[in-house]
Chain A
Amino acid sequence: MCANCEKSDLSLLTPVFEAFAGDDHALISILQKAQDIYGYLPTDVLYAIADKTGNSPAKVMGVATFYTQFRLKPVGKNLILLCKGTACHVNGADSIEKALVEELGVGDGETTDDGLFSIKTVACLGCCSLSPVMMINEDTYGSLTPAKAKDIVRKIREASK
């Protein structure tokens, strides 16, 4: 079915399929759980989900590419979600993005070679009064300046050495 794709441990999906057994409308929920497990959605996992849910692989791929939450490639250890909502835009989100790109050498949707950081711009994190804002994994950083953003990234890099 999928000769050249990843060899993921598909047994990890069993409890997910069990949890949603009989629910014909759970495709998005299943994809979310799968992404929690693998960190992204490997192609062989998408095929397995299509097979198990009775959907065509095209439909599963269609849903996985429609929503911004789903990733088809692995992400770095630290996922930077940079908010580019309206309030952040007005308060200088572009300059923060520029600073991060300068510091990390990668842009939106890319991962650094050492696998430490991925950058993803998002529409709104809902912390508008702290704008400009970014989230790194579970932590939110607000009232950013270009220097502050670089500093935060540097500290995380130091800490992971």
Chain B
Amino acid sequence: MKLVFGEGSCGIAAGARKVRAAVEKLNADGAVEVGITGCIGMCYLEPIVDVYGEPGTYPPSEASAEGGSMRGGNGEPLLARLVRVQEKDAERIYKAAASGVLSGVKDLEISADDKEFLEKQTRIALRHCGLIDPEDIAAYEAVDGYKAIRKVLTMTPEDVIAEIKVSGLAGRGGAGFPTWFKWNAARNAKGDQKYLICNADEGDPGAFMDRAVIESDPHSLIEGMLIAAYAIGATKAFVYVRAEYPLAIVRLEKALAAAKKAGLLGENILGSGFSCDIRIKAGAGAFVCGEETALIESLEGNRGMPRLKPPFPAEKGYTQAPSNINNVETFANVAWIILNGGAAFAAMGTETSKGTKVFALTGKIKRGGLVEIPMGLTLRDVIFGIGGGIRDGGTFKAVQMGGPSGGCIPEHLLDTLIDYKALGATGAIMGSGGMVVMDSHTCMVNMARFFLDFTAKESCGKCVHCRIGTKRMHEILTRITEGKGREGDVELLQELCNGIKAGALCGLGQTAPNPVLTTIRYFRDEYDAHIREARCPAHECAVLKKFEIDPAKCKGCTMCAKKCPVGAISGEPKKPHAIDQSKCIKCGQCVATCKFGAVSVG
């Protein structure tokens, strides 16, 4: 039997390496095969350990005989998936694997409900994630890895672009621009040296699908990039990765070295005469570098400030040479499309959005993680069908899509289709795939303030509207959340939003107002409550909170009075206490301390 540990960043943070170390200590004689894999995307169940049988054997129980996701990269049957494992479980996990009797770890097995999380997905970009060893090129080759590039090398570049056109693949970084069109433009551009760039500067806070792909299936990215490089005629390529993703960089470095050794990278690839080299460039932390011209500036060693377009990168990109930039998830689909045909990809989705999309489902969600689904499902399907709805019995309020460039979608629009056009109509965007779910405890004004704080800090400063406009908007939103909002503030915000949209050069500035515009559109009542009544309906804005002690529930234990850092609570022992509102700093210590639920927040 083989034990495979899910060691993506999430799994490691949850303790996967500690559990593996404990198992390996017991396994000094090597009775059990131990391996690693990347992220299966069920982040809420980490750390996860998969127990595999021998390849070619059949699973002993019907429960695990479902095929598909229940098989490993080599077709070996997945006998059990153990979730939320702890170091203390290491001994019985080892014993179960060594003896082949899994009854001792029955309680750790994934529940039928949780299995649905994967079963309801359609995985293409994530097809190998969590199933194969990302640090072993042989594991990738065993699942048809590098077959697509072999096929492509027998095709003309034009045919490759045509196949991508048939697939309808569009840029997964957020803009949704047809991939074939960019490739074609770069192919047709004049220049001796052309460059291919992978945008792995996943800066949208709340999105982590690109990190997962690089950590879990780096060869799929490399293969997708090689195909693109062949199609456009590029011989040099870069992967621009966020510096915050150290594990992704390490795994990609290993994968590049292995591919080079196997003759899949570098000069004269597989004897075809086609040469391409891929280098990693680590970003240094700037959200604006997700914008393609800013990314190019950064690659050149400059401040990441966007350039005027046109000329587009396809004509004048890196060092003024023709360049093509795609996102990680876009590349991760390419090899699959070549092997299965563009038509198979286009068969999924809607009229205007083809194929699948990966979302990072987070926030107040029961089952958070990576979800890949065909376009055309509804938001409700994803959040409630796959994500299981709101955690801790809360009620759904809104979902934020597209991060700082996107918007908040309210409950009555939950049946909106996942489609570039339909999502755009709500004022939000498809974005790179961040899907942050909020419940009734999230204040929408504070949410808008949060995003404007982010964009004001991340504005590169080139355009006045964005540099100063976002700062003024942040100031206005801050005063609203502090109960100092003025009549007319909402209209002023709207005016600033329109000004920034019109006056900013790049996508960061043009979309920065979206979180404000959508929260005003759907949650105007919350703005009004803050401004007119100095009240936060979600009870989130600290300054507007009012803490009170219910005399009927208070036992006079004096605990809250002792905890209060400013001495705002007074009362005699065994008699109801009271809070002096003029002294209270709204820190909430009293609520956390009270054992009788006597302190209420209003």
Contacts and interface: CB of A to CB of B under 8 A. Distances in A.
A62 interface: yes
B281 A141 contact: no
Contacts, number: 128
Contacts of A98: 587
Interface stretch (B138-146, B282-290, B554-562): B282-290
Contact of B303 (A66, A87, A95, A127): A66
Contact of A86 (B9, B285, B450, B460): B450
A116 interface: no
B13 A142 contact: yes
B368 A129 contact: yes
A56 interface: no
A10 interface: no
B244 A124 contact: yes
A78 B217 CA distance: 32
Interface in B192-212: 202-208, 211
Nearest to A126: B208
Interface string B1-18: 000000001101110000
A95 B403 CA distance: 22
Nearest to A95: B588
Interface residues of A, number: 39
Contact of A129 (B300, B362, B434, B460): B362
Given A86-B205, A86-B450, A123-B205, A26 B9 contact: no
Contacts of A131: 362
A69 B284 contact: yes
Interface stretch (A1-9, A11-19, A27-35, A148-156): A27-35
A70 interface: yes
A111 to B, nearest CB: 19
B594 to A, nearest CB: 15
B286 A67 contact: yes
Nearest to B204: A124
A27 B208 contact: no
A31 B284 contact: yes
A128 B362 contact: yes
B164 interface: no
Contact of A85 (B44, B206, B298): B206
Contacts of B301: 24-29, 63
A126 B362 contact: no
B152 to A, nearest CB: 29
Contact of A128 (B46, B300, B303, B368): B368
A128 B208 CA distance: 8
B444 to A, nearest CB: 11
Nearest to B281: A29
Interface string A58-84: 000011001111100000000000001
B362 A69 contact: no
Contacts of A24: 301
A128 B360 contact: yes
Contacts of B319: 25
A89 B453 CA distance: 12
9 contacts: A24-B301, A25-B300, A66-B460, A86-B450, A87-B362, A90-B436, A128-B207, A129-B10, A142-B13
Given A86-B403, A90-B363, 18 more contacts: A25-B300, A27-B302, A63-B302, A67-B283, A67-B285, A68-B284, A68-B285, A69-B243, A70-B284, A84-B205, A86-B206, A86-B434, A86-B436, A122-B244, A124-B203, A126-B208, A128-B368, A133-B13
Interface of A: 24-29, 31-32, 62-63, 66-70, 84-91, 95, 98, 122-131, 133, 140-142
Interface of B: 9-10, 12-14, 43-44, 46, 202-208, 211, 243-245, 281-287, 298-304, 319, 360, 362-364, 368-369, 400, 403, 434, 436-438, 442, 447, 450-451, 454, 458, 460, 587-588
